[in-house]
Amino acid sequence: MSRVVTPLLLVGGLSGAAIVARNVLGARAQAARSDVATIVQGLTVAPDTATATPGYQRARARRLAVDEMRSMLTALVAAESALAADSGFPRAQLPREYWSRPMGSNIGPYIQVAFDGWYAWTQNTHAEVWCGVAVGPDTAWMGNAPSGNPVCFGASVPTPDYTRIGKEDYQRYLRVTGQSQPR
């Protein structure tokens, strides 16, 4: 009988020791976890200190400039569409009741009216980026973006050459209307 009782006592003793150790060590582990959490909280960097680098500030200024230009061109599309609905055609200089301002630090918009639509582009003084929009069937000058959607390009892409656009637009007009080209 002692052969049966001894292993049972041994198993019971080890189980009791394990329960006590778990309770004691569990409390210590919980305390250590809360200490680690407090220390880690103290090590986190405030969001504004990470954004103070010059590279981040330039990138942020560029993003804000692009958003500002796209917003302005979207408002311009709405104003030009309202003018075209009222008068029957778009104009390069919108009347004050339709459009009164460039927005923020934008330069422009520069508007070119074509026989089947119009183009506009703008630049921003804080970024080497320009944005443009084309409304009508031919959007090739603005990267073939969908009509009325502003698109932006880096400074390495030249802004539209309106003399060249005008000449090509006139040639397209002559082809579409079936008129002969002047000699």
> What is the pTM for the complete model shown?
0.61
The three-state (H, E, C) secondary structure of 101-120, written as one string: CCCCCEEEEEEEEECCEEEE
pLDDT digits 0-9 by tens, 62-86 = 888 889 889 989 999 999 989 888 9
* Mean pLDDT along residues 159-163: 70
Residue 88's region, left for phi above 0, alpha for psi from -120 to 50, else beta, is: left
Phi/psi for 171 (5° steps) reads -65, -40
Amino acid 48: pLDDT: 56
Q: CA–CA separation, 108 vs 1, rounded Å?
A: 102
Please report, for the chain, the start and end positions of each structural domain, with discontinuous segments joined by +: 1-44, 54-177
